[in-house]
């Protein structure tokens, strides 16, 4: 990487993102030394403007940020670092410093849980027992939930409608995983369709 540290007194902004959920966790700054240390140790180190020194995230709390990937922007003067966080990122104890950030991180977490239940089936797992019955049963269940959602859509009971919507989305995610796909694959197709419009 040929990063440009000539702006902002030798500092570049760094966006930290959870590699699994895609949730934005925080924003920090790095000078060249902090960047080199981050690359070498695969643990995120910032330059603290308030302490005027290098600061490894988690050095006090133990909530380190393990580096998965580092990408520079088109002007080579900012970074996106995807990480696996070891605990909450924000000093307030929350997952993200952006408390009101809208994200689909829960759906990604749910996909991971479904994948785990399929890969390592347990006797008390609904997902495992459903998938062991085969693709036809999983697909049939999606069809049943879709019909139930349509029926509830014709009535005025919001609670029942939303519960059926949740059931359909859950079983749809199971079907995608059984077929070897995820929401990201569907997202790609939808993005391509928008380009074609």
- The 10s digit of each residue's pLDDT in 35-66 is 999 999 999 999 999 999 999 999 988 999 99
How many CB atoms are closer than 10 A to CB 97?
17
Please state, in angstroms and rounded to a whole number, the distance separating the CA atoms of residues 18 and 44: 13
Mean pLDDT of 73-96: 90
* Position 197 confidence tier, pLDDT thresholds 50, 70, 90: low
pLDDT of residue 114 exceeding 60: yes
Question: Which CATH class for the 11-85 domain?
Answer: alpha beta
* Position 105 confidence tier, pLDDT thresholds 50, 70, 90: low
Answer whether 0.85 is exceeded by the pTM.
no
The residue to which tokens 């269940």 are assigned: 141
CATH architecture of the domain with residue range 106-196: Orthogonal Bundle (1.10)
pLDDT of residue 143 exceeding 50: yes
Q: Where are the domains of the chain?
A: 11-85, 106-196
Mean pLDDT of 4-10: 88
- Greatest alpha-carbon pair distance for the chain in Å reads 62
Q: How far is CA 178 from CA 68, 174, 183, in A?
A: 26, 6, 13
DSSP letters spanning 28-89: EEE-HHHHHHHHHHSB-EEEETTTTEEEETTTTTS--EEEEEEEE-TTSS-EEEEEEESS--
């Amino acid at each position: 990487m040929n990063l440009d540290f000539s702006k902002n007194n030798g500092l570049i902004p760094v966006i930290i993102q959870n590699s699994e959920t895609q949730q934005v966790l925080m924003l920090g700054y790095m000078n060249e030394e902090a960047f080199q240390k981050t690359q070498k140790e695969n643990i995120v180190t910032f330059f603290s403007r308030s302490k005027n020194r290098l600061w490894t995230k988690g050095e006090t709390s133990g909530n380190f940020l393990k580096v998965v990937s580092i990408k520079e922007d088109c002007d080579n003067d900012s970074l996106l670092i995807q990480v696996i966080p070891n605990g909450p990122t924000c000093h307030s104890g929350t997952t993200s410093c952006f408390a009101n950030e809208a994200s689909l991180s829960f759906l990604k977490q749910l996909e991971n849980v479904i994948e785990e239940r399929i890969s390592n089936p347990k006797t008390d797992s609904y997902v495992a027992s459903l998938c062991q019955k085969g693709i036809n049963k999983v697909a049939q269940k999606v069809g049943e939930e879709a019909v139930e959602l349509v029926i509830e859509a014709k009535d005025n009971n919001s609670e029942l409608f939303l519960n059926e919507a949740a059931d359909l989305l859950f079983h749809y995610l199971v079907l995608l995983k059984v077929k070897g796909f995820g929401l990201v694959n569907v997202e790609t197709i939808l993005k391509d369709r928008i380009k074609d419009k």
